[in-house]
Amino acid sequence: MTRSVTYSLMLVLGAIAAALGGDDPMPEKSLAQRVADRMFPSVFQAWNPADNLNEDKTVTAARHDLIFHGDGFFGLKWDNEHPGLATNFTAASLDRGRRRRRELLGRNPNLVLLMEIRYRDAHQSYLPDGHAWWRRDDKGTIVPGWEEGRFLQLDFSNPEYREQVARQAQAAVESGVVDGIMLDWWRDDADRVALVGTIRRRIGEKSLILANANDQTTPKTAPFINGYFMECTRSQSAADWKRIADTLTWAEKNLRTPRINCLETWYHTSRGDENLMRATTTLSMVRSDGYCLFSDPNPLPTPDHLHNWYPFWERRLGKALAPGLERPDGVWTREFADGTVAYNPMGNKEVTVTFDEPRTSAANGTRARSHTLSPCDGDLFLNDDAARRSVTGAP
C-alpha cells in the first residue's frame, strides 16, 4: 500500500477514534515494530514543523515518523514553577499528554515520540536565581548558554544535578507520553559519559536516547545511545558530505538498537535547493535505516528547523531488501521493495543509472530505462507498479 493510501486510512481511523472518545481502534504497536514497520523515505521533525501545508497541525506533524520536542508540544507541564527542580508532571498535563500521544499515533501508527531533556543550558527561569546548578566560570560568574537563545549554562559536572536530569528523563518515559528522550549539544567528554550512564540506569534498557552529536562520532557514549540527531551545520563541500556519510555509517554500526539515526542538512540558498533535499534523503536511505530532514539554517531569525514537506517524500519505496552498495562510478544505490534509491555524492561527476526495465524518477516523473544523476543529488526510481499506485492511489 502506498504512503498516500496508508496516510488516508490513518486519517479515517483517527477520526473514528476521536468519535469514540479518543481511544485507538487498534492496540498500539511496540516500539520495535514502529521503527521496523516504516516505509522509506522516512522523515523526522526536529522541534519545529513543516509550515508549507494548509492543513491541521496535528495532521502535518503525523506525516513525520519521528518527532522530538519540548514538554509543551506534548501538553506536558512540570510540577514546579522552576522546571529544573521538577521531578514529575502535573496530573492534568499527563492526561493531556496521553491524549496527544493517542491522537498522533492514531494518524501514524509508526510514529516515535521523544522529549528533549535540558541539561546543558536553559532559560533563567529554569532554576531559582543563584542556584548551585547554574554553571560558573573561574570568577564565579554564571556562564551564558548560546547566543541565539540567550540562555544560561547548567553545571552537568555536578553529580547531584546529573541525578536530577536522570530523574526528569525517568519521569518523561514513565509518563506514557513519549518513547524516550533527546539530549542536545552532545560530545564525548567525561561529564557526559557520567550523565548518560546515570540516565540509562534510570530509564532502563528499552527506552530511547537520541543525542545531537552533529557530524561527529562519540565512541565513549555510544553504548548508551540509540541514535544521533545529526544536525549537520556544514554541508558546503565534498569533504563535508563525506564526513557526514562516514559518521552516519559509523552510527548505524555502533549505536544500540533499536537505532534511530536522524540526518538533517540545511539549505544553502533557499528551500528550493531540492537537489540538496534529495541528496540528504537518499544518503540517509543508502547508508542507514534512519530518518531524514532538510530544513532552514539555524542562523535565520525564524525558529530553527522549520521546513517544507516535499512531495518527493511521498514517493515511498517501501522497505529495504538489501544493504546499500557503492558502484564503481561512485554512486551509492540500494534496493527497496518498490524500486531503487540512488545517491550521487558532491564532488563526483554526473552519472547514468540504467535498469533492465523502465523506472519512474520521483524527482521529475520521467519514465525510462536510463536516468542521469547530477553530483550532490539523489533520486528514487520506482518500478511500474509503485509508480502506478502513487498516481492512482490504487492498493
Those residues whose C-beta lies under 8 Å from the C-beta of residue 63, and which sit 6 or more positions away, are 7, 43, 50, 108, 309, 313
386 assigned to some structural domain: yes
Average pLDDT over residues 31-53: 98
Those residues whose C-beta lies under 8 Å from the C-beta of residue 284, and which sit 6 or more positions away, are 41, 42, 248, 261, 263, 290, 291, 292
Sign of CA dihedral 119, 123, 126, 127: positive
Q: Is residue 261 domain-shared with residue 341, that is, in the same domain?
A: no
Angle (CA) 315-316-321 rounded to 5° is 140
pLDDT at 204 over 90: yes
321, three cell numbers: 531488501
Which residue, chain included where needed, has cell 510514529?
Answer: 111
308, three cell numbers: 517544507
pLDDT at 209 over 60: yes
Domain harbouring 394, CATH code = 2.60.40
Which range of residues forms the domain containing residue 102? 3-120+156-314
148 assigned to some structural domain: no
- Map 97-119 to HEC letters: HHHHHHHHHHHCCCCEEEEECCC
What does the buried/exposed string (b/e) look like for 135-146 if buried means 16 or more CB atoms within 10 Å of the residue's CB? beeeeeebeebe
> Which of 314, 337, 364 delimits the end of a domain?
314
Give the pLDDT score at 390. 63
More confident residue, 391 or 18: 391
User: Residue 104: which of 173, 24, 180, 164 has the closest Cα?
Assistant: 24
Average pLDDT value over all residues in the chain: 93
Q: Is residue 283 domain-shared with residue 323, that is, in the same domain?
A: no
Average pLDDT over residues 130-141: 96
Amino acid in position 88: N
Angle (CA) 302-305-310 rounded to 5° is 110
pLDDT at 191 over 80: yes
Q: Is residue 185 domain-shared with residue 38, that is, in the same domain?
A: yes
Q: Is residue 217 domain-shared with residue 343, that is, in the same domain?
A: no
The rounded distance, in Å, linking the Cα atoms of 256 and 32 is: 13
342, three cell numbers: 540512488
Give the pLDDT score at 391. 55
Average pLDDT over residues 25-44: 93
User: Residue 38: which of 264, 230, 319, 255 has the closest Cα?
Assistant: 319
3-class DSSP state of 374:
coil
177 assigned to some structural domain: yes
**Which runs of consecutive H residues, i.e. helices, occur in the chain?**
3-19, 31-36, 57-61, 91-107, 159-174, 190-203, 238-254, 274-287, 384-392
- What is the per-residue pLDDT across 221-244, written as a single tens digit (0 to 9) for each? 999 999 999 999 999 999 999 999
Give the pLDDT score at 2. 41
pLDDT at 115 over 70: yes
Q: Which of 17-31, 39-53, 73-87, 100-114 is predicted with the least confidence, judged by mean pLDDT? A: 17-31
254, three cell numbers: 555502533
128 assigned to some structural domain: no
Contact 116, 182 (CB under 8 A): yes
Give the pLDDT score at 24. 45
Sign of CA dihedral 201, 205, 209, 215: positive
Contact 333, 324 (CB under 8 A): yes
Using a pLDDT cut of 90, give the percent of the chain over it. Answer: 89
Burial tier of 253 (Cβ tally within 10 Å: 0-12, 13-18, 19+): exposed
pLDDT at 261 over 90: yes
**Tally of CB atoms within 10 A around 25:** 11
User: Residue 266: which of 253, 247, 255, 279 has the closest Cα?
Assistant: 279
The rounded distance, in Å, linking the Cα atoms of 261 and 248 is: 8
145 assigned to some structural domain: no
Q: Which band of pLDDT confidence, cut at 50, 70 and 90, is reported for residue 311? A: very high
Q: Is residue 218 domain-shared with residue 323, that is, in the same domain?
A: no
Give the pLDDT score at 146. 76
Strand partners for 341: 334, 380
> Which of 289, 314, 339 delimits the end of a domain?
314
Q: Is residue 308 domain-shared with residue 357, that is, in the same domain?
A: no
> Which of 266, 282, 314 delimits the end of a domain?
314
Average pLDDT over residues 267-273: 98
The rounded distance, in Å, linking the Cα atoms of 320 and 288 is: 10
The rounded distance, in Å, linking the Cα atoms of 333 and 58 is: 34
142 assigned to some structural domain: no
